[in-house]
Amino acid sequence: MSGTEEDEDLVHNYTLNTQHKLDEFFQRLKSFVYMGTFDVNGLEFQTQDLHEKLTSIRQDLEMMPSSPLLLEQLNFAHIMFSGMSDAVIMLQHFNTCELPGHGWLYKIIELNVRLWTMFDSYGNLDLDISCYVARILEFLRDVHVWGRQFRMLKDVTEDMTALYESQSTEAVKKIFELGSQIPLPHK
């Protein structure tokens, strides 16, 4: 085997190894949502390790020839991890808060986390999820019903209302992004 072929094999194996690490990282993130519930404490407990793994993957990618697909996956993994980590902080606060509207705010923040699990590692609708159309419609219904319930409450602070609306808008964006990727039926 020539030096060039050995180099190509080495790069190929390194790429496959990095791909495997990204896939494992992504599946690990998804594992924090089980049966429609986000394991806030589980993610909080593992945040440092996950951060280190993501940093290691980024360093691996910097040492190899450019791979647009791996960079796309890394970017989405970073966005998803950041979003879930931010949600941990908010959910811990609103889990103990007793202000009017805190329960609805908790639900919409958690829904945003649950929406992340509908994406594949490239940031597209995961077509391997069973009943994905029904689930997307259920998410949309929840956003609208919960929003109506939240807006009917009295004495909700302006800050809480602004945060709820921001989370609701984020959820709707994700839902429409997912919905826009639903394949059309073949005739």
pTM as predicted: 0.89
- The number of domains in the chain is 1
> Would residue 61 count as lying in a domain?
yes
Radius of gyration of the chain (CA): 20
> Would residue 184 count as lying in a domain?
no
Tokens of 20: 């495997």
Q: Tens place of pLDDT for every residue, the chain, 187 residues?
A: 555 665 566 666 778 888 899 999 999 999 999 888 999 999 999 999 999 999 999 999 888 788 889 999 999 999 999 999 999 999 998 888 788 899 999 999 999 999 999 999 999 999 999 999 999 999 999 999 999 999 999 999 999 999 999 999 999 999 999 999 999 887 6
> Would residue 138 count as lying in a domain?
yes
> Would residue 186 count as lying in a domain?
no
Which positions ≥6 away from 108 have C-beta within 8 Å?
143, 146, 147, 150, 164, 167, 168, 171
Q: Helix, strand, or coil here: 63?
A: coil
**Domain residues for 155?**
3-179
